[in-house]
Chains A and B, each alone.
Chain A
Amino acid sequence: MAQHTQTPVPQQPQRLQRSGRVAAPPRPAKAAPRKRPSLIRRFFYGLVRRIYFGGKTLFRIALLVPILVFMVWVSYTVDRSGLFQGALAPRRIVDLMLQGYDVTNFESMDEREVVQLFAQDVPETPQVIGIGSSRILQFNRELVGVDSFFNMGVTGADVRDNMTSYYKMVTYDKAPDVLIWSVDPWVFYGSEAAYDYRADAELYNEFLTKVLGVPTDYEEPDKVELWKALVEPAYFQGNVDYYVKNRGQDVVTDDDGNTIEFNPVTGDPYDQATTIKRSDGSVLYDTAFRNQTQEQILALAAAASQTFNSVHMEGFDEMSQTQIQAFEAFIDYAHSQGTTVILVLSPWHPFLYNYLLNETDMHKGFFQVENWVRQYCAENNVPLYGSYDPECIEGIEEMDFFDGLHCKDTGIKKFFPGVPAVLEAIETNTLPDPLAVTPRTSLPTAEDSTETGTQDGDMADAETADTAA
């Protein structure tokens, strides 16, 4: 039988005392006031703290430096405005030349800028450089006889161009071993007329002031503003845009988006329709100009004879003492840089020179130059080759000229033996005597003609006798 039990009535919950009746814990004893560290201790603590956090902060800031470096690198390398590396077009020309290419479009080149950039960018100092006007631009590696040659001549060069071209090399610590200077007569003319507007007058003033000690109005340029462009974000952005636009393009554009038309010469350089700049700095005229007939050349010489003085010699009556001093100082300066100076007097076309002899009063200064240079070279043992007077150069003829002013390589070969031969002559002390040549400075009188005729006759007789012997 099942036993029924009642469900127990729930009892009231009993409160459990979980903790015994214990006395309240004693209040903690009042902590003794902390002693404030001494002033010195606090000072050193502050110092250490500052050094620690300063170092930490600097380290984190240094992590951002690569951004700045990248920015500067891009701005300097691309340099779309040519602030640091020169304008884009000349830079392209120099880049091509340094890669060994001849470059097209010589007529459009800023030759002075090319020279400047070459001096800046050429990795190895050329052994020989040439300076002068367009009358030296035919000097090339073959004629000079040295592979390491660069022709720094520029069209219309005045004395400032001559000197600053060399000075640029020196400022970049690239002074050459040998300097060939084709001395033009206007180098000794002290008038403004002797100056070319394209020459870098500021650099010349710097050269005069800093090197030759001649006082000028030269002021040291503020380069801070220029270098600020390196950290200028806007310039950085412009350079990035320019780089992206021109990367991998055949046609390069300048800062204004104009096409830069300087490209490597393709095909035979001697068969070009336009004048080209050779990789050694010399100039190769276009085929038509090089292959003119004698009549054409004579016509050009005749035209040049009419405008002779307009080439930097308007009113050239006397050699300037200032220019003479500058010339001498320059030669001394080049010697002090360890450079051997070879002076060259490039001849004028026979027709032109003869024409000038008919009006010597109009070219007094011009006719003084060569004799003075010869005297100077003789006194200072400076090698001198060539002569303004074509009659003084054996074998030179009218076909050895392009026009009235410019002598062809065939003509140059007739008076310039090449740098190795010159250096050897210096070593062996067998340099030709500059005073052995006497250029004509006036037309021969009747007596002179008779004497000359007699002498010529005597020499002819002697030669005949030698041949017979």
Chain B
Amino acid sequence: MTITSLLYLGFFAVVALLHYALPRVARPYFLLAANYAFYCYDPSNRPLALVLAGATLLTWVCGLVIGKSRSKVLRVVFLLLSIGGGVGILLYYKYWNLLADAIGGITGGTVPHLDLITPLGLSYFTFAALSYSIDVFKKRCRVEPNLLHYAMFVSFFPTMITGPIERYPHLRPQIKKPRRFSYTRCAGGAFRILWGYTKKMVIADNLSVYTSFVFTNPASMNGPNLLAASILFAIQLYMDFSGCCDIALGVARILGYDLIENFNSPFESTSFSEFWTRWHVSMTSWFRDYIYFPLGGSRCCLPRRLMNVVIVFVVSGLWHGADWRYLMWGLACGVLSAFGRLTFGARKVLWRYNPLYRAVWCKNLIQRALVFLMFVATLVFFASALYNADPYGVYAGIFQGWQGGLSASWDSVRTLLHDSGIDGRLPVVLTCASLIVFAAESNGRSVARWIRNQSFVLRWTLYYAAAAALLFFGAFGQSAFIYQQF
């Protein structure tokens, strides 16, 4: 069941209706049933529901022992068991073939590849479950005696496709005491869903027509198109991923749950480190809390601190998939982030002598542009992994084919945009829509909250405008969400 299908909306509508028809005490249990119904809808996922249930049961039992036991040894053993179980599932389903190659390379033997189907939302529910065990161990979270409440948290269907990666201390009070129906919350949630669909289907899916066209044939593309595709891919990725998160947050909001905000105007960051506090917040904070801090975080010598940063990004890269290009992407992000931290002091001194930095707006603009370009540069690895291209070929290609100057380059990009299907009114629509999204979400503004403060007429005009944009320019029947596969 894809999020962009009418079936998903129908399923959600029925769930929401029944959810509010039930007494509040019964709602988490009903939602648990709905979660598993959602999970089992696709026949290929049905047997894998056991994996979800198994991971839930294992981490819950471990959490129970960790929380109740006074023996430190027992607590550590069960923590390791929980982590081993969670990571084991992740490694088995996601990285088996990569590990098999590695083991084969080391031993000189042949370890057979397995044709495994990855369970839906594997990376998300394992991380959510692991965070619970670790939080209980660290006494940041009380142990949950109710298995069904915990199971509802792990399998919560809005977060199953692309997250955000929830934490139990955040969701627990909401599960324990479900909210009463609030029309305002629901209306805000509904608009958030509409906003998400617009970002995904109007902007991201239309841009993907061009980017996929370029990245699937990078060898035959010239520099201007490779550069344009890299830049547009960054926008596409943001619209795609944040759009899906908007839908998830909107759905959860209607059901009475507030999830973690996954994006906070990342393209307004003025440093690369700051960027990663605004992009995919739930994942970066997860890595920060459960990998970076245990490694020593910032409370150690500079070289180790920088090494910790690089390690976290490399792991983050691997989280995206068993592909060396994701690994390289993580490494590139880690190195850039570490370099940024290393040179921060020196750069700060140099700012004083930069006349352009005297005006704050100018300084912000330049820094934001540089951060964006750095992100674009690293994303070449990411896009190459996604479209199975050679990233070094793309990097090399970007610097070629500029002979005719900017005018000829622009013509070349425009022609390819047109040929790939972005023609007619679509370029204007995409440009305007992207600008509207960036402006509306500027400074981390909550669009859903903002629209609730508008007058009835303006609000409904905007609803209709968003629906019309979706209806007229949405790319229906396109690809699934990029982060769905992770």
Residue numbers of A with Cβ under 8 A of B are 46, 49-50, 53, 56-57, 60, 63-64, 67, 71, 231-234, 236-237, 240
Contact = CB atoms under 8 A, between A and B. Distances in A.
Given A50-B181, A56-B183, A64-B463, 6 more contacts: A46-B23, A64-B467, A67-B464, A67-B467, A233-B474, A234-B477
B471 A71 contact: yes
B476 A233 contact: yes
B471 A233 contact: yes
Contacts of A236: 471
B21 interface: yes
A124 B470 CA distance: 40
A50 B472 contact: no
Contact of A231 (B6, B181, B186, B477): B6
Nearest to A236: B471
Would you list the 10 A-B pairs with minimal beta carbon distance, nearest first?
Answer: A234-B476, A233-B476, A53-B181, A67-B467, A234-B477, A53-B183, A233-B471, A56-B183, A233-B474, A71-B471
Given A67-B464, A233-B471, A237-B476, A50 B20 contact: yes
Contacts of B463: 64
B339 interface: no
A49 B186 CA distance: 15
B21 A50 contact: yes
A273 B471 CA distance: 47
B460 A63 contact: yes
A40 to B, nearest CB: 14
A237 B473 CA distance: 8
A56 B184 CA distance: 11
Contacts of B476: 232-234, 237
B231 interface: no
Interface of B: 6, 20-21, 23, 181, 183, 186-187, 460, 463-464, 467-468, 470-472, 474, 476-477
B317 to A, nearest CB: 35
A130 B467 CA distance: 50
A41 to B, nearest CB: 15
A67 B477 contact: no
Contacts of B472: 237, 240
Given A50-B21, A53-B181, A231-B6, A60 B471 contact: no
Contacts of B464: 67
18 contacts: A49-B181, A50-B21, A53-B20, A53-B181, A57-B183, A57-B186, A63-B460, A67-B467, A67-B468, A71-B471, A231-B6, A232-B476, A233-B470, A233-B474, A236-B471, A237-B471, A237-B474, A240-B472
B243 to A, nearest CB: 16
A67 B471 contact: yes
Contacts of B20: 50, 53
Contacts of B470: 233
A222 B187 CA distance: 37
Contacts of A233: 470-471, 474, 476
B480 to A, nearest CB: 16
B279 to A, nearest CB: 30
A81 to B, nearest CB: 15
B107 to A, nearest CB: 51
A60 B194 CA distance: 15
Contacts of A50: 20-21, 181
Contacts of B474: 233, 237
B27 to A, nearest CB: 13
A56 B182 CA distance: 11
Nearest to B13: A61
A65 B187 CA distance: 16
A361 to B, nearest CB: 62
Nearest to B6: A231
Contacts of B468: 67
A232 B471 CA distance: 10
A63 B6 CA distance: 19
Contacts of B471: 67, 71, 233, 236-237
Nearest to B181: A53
A53 B183 CA distance: 7
A218 B181 CA distance: 51
A233 to B, nearest CB: 5
Nearest to B16: A57
A71 B187 CA distance: 23
Contacts of A46: 23
A233 B183 CA distance: 28
A231 to B, nearest CB: 7
A67 B470 CA distance: 11
Nearest to B477: A234
A50 B22 CA distance: 10
A49 B23 CA distance: 12
Contacts of A232: 476
Q: Max chain A CB contacts within 10 Å: which of B6, B181, B460, B471?
A: B471
A56 B181 CA distance: 12
A50 B23 CA distance: 11
Contacts of A237: 471-472, 474, 476
Nearest to A43: B23
B186 to A, nearest CB: 7
A231 B463 CA distance: 19
Contacts of B477: 234
Nearest to A49: B181
Contacts of A71: 471
Contacts of A53: 20, 181, 183
Contacts of B187: 60
A46 B23 CA distance: 9
Contacts of A231: 6
B465 to A, nearest CB: 11
Contacts of B467: 64, 67
Contacts of A240: 472
